[in-house]
Amino acid sequence: MPGPNEAQRGVELGLMLRVLAFAAHKHRKQRRKGSDASPYINHPIAVANLLVNEGGVQDTTLICAALLHDTIEDTKTTADEIETEFGAEIARIVQELTDDKSLPPATRKRLQVEHAPSLSAGAKLVKLADKTCNLRDLAEHPPTEWPLERRQGYYDWAKEVVQGLRGASPALEAAFDAAWSKRPR
């Protein structure tokens, strides 16, 4: 018979797998912008993987939020749906990480920079992992239609966002800095 810790871990693993299946279903028809047009779900999986394996994050809520971080923004998923399925805390973090797509892109980018310092501790960790994964993807498989200047601009903007997240995790910040050091020239 499993002990209390083993039973709790089983519940947490079950939740993470339900979240992963939900995110995979929601992103099933989407592809990344990179030259390899990888399935979109690879991105939230990479963010969660970075949190756990490079950032040392063991918090199930944060791992679930990482897997769901783009669902409200990029699919027809609502915050209420996430809350009903996975709880208020996961939904709150995902909402913190969600851009308002009704705003122009330049405004959304500016707001990310402005809001970064006031994110919750957990949202900061997911945001750091997200920006790091985006830079890694951009270095490995840049969108073919993005000229050098646009790629450089994305790196510079990501660095501005991350400036507001500094102090959240030395390990994740080091991963971001390593990814940023590969800025195209």
pLDDT tens digits, 36-76: 989 999 999 999 999 999 999 999 999 999 999 999 999 99
d(CA 112, CA 161): 6
d(CA 17, CA 60): 11
Asked, for residue 140, whether it belongs to a domain, the answer is yes
pLDDT, position 2: 66
The residue annotated as part of the active site, out of 54, 73, 85, 160, is 73
pLDDT tens digits, 108-117: 999 999 999 9
Q: Is 74 a catalytic residue?
A: yes
pLDDT reading at 4 higher than 90: no
Higher pLDDT, 9 or 43: 43
Spatial neighbors of 157 by CB under 8 A, at least 6 apart, are 109, 113
For the chain, how many structural domains are there in total?
Answer: 1
The residue annotated as part of the active site, out of 12, 54, 74, 85, is 74
Mean predicted confidence (pLDDT) in 81-110: 97
Q: Scan for tokens 């006031």, then name that residue.
A: 118
Higher pLDDT, 120 or 1: 120
Say whether 88 sits in a helix, a strand or coil: helix
Query: Residue 177 corresponds to which tokens in the numbers above?
Result: 């800095």
d(CA 131, CA 119): 15
At 12, the pLDDT band (50, 70, 90 cuts) reads: very high
Mean predicted confidence (pLDDT) in 11-23: 96
Asked, for residue 185, whether it belongs to a domain, the answer is no
pLDDT, position 143: 94
pLDDT reading at 119 higher than 90: yes
d(CA 69, CA 86): 13
Alpha carbon 158 to its chain centroid, in Å, reads: 13
Q: What CATH number does residue 130 fall under?
A: 1.10.3210.10
- DSSP readout, 51-80? HHHTT----HHHHHHHHHTTHHHHSS--HH
Q: Is 83 a catalytic residue?
A: no
pLDDT tens digits, 125-168: 999 999 999 999 999 999 999 999 999 999 999 999 999 999 99
Query: Residue 158 corresponds to which tokens in the numbers above?
Result: 């990501």
pLDDT, position 77: 97
Query: Residue 153 corresponds to which tokens in the numbers above?
Result: 């601009």
Which residue range(s) make up the domain with 120?
A: 4-180
pLDDT, position 5: 87
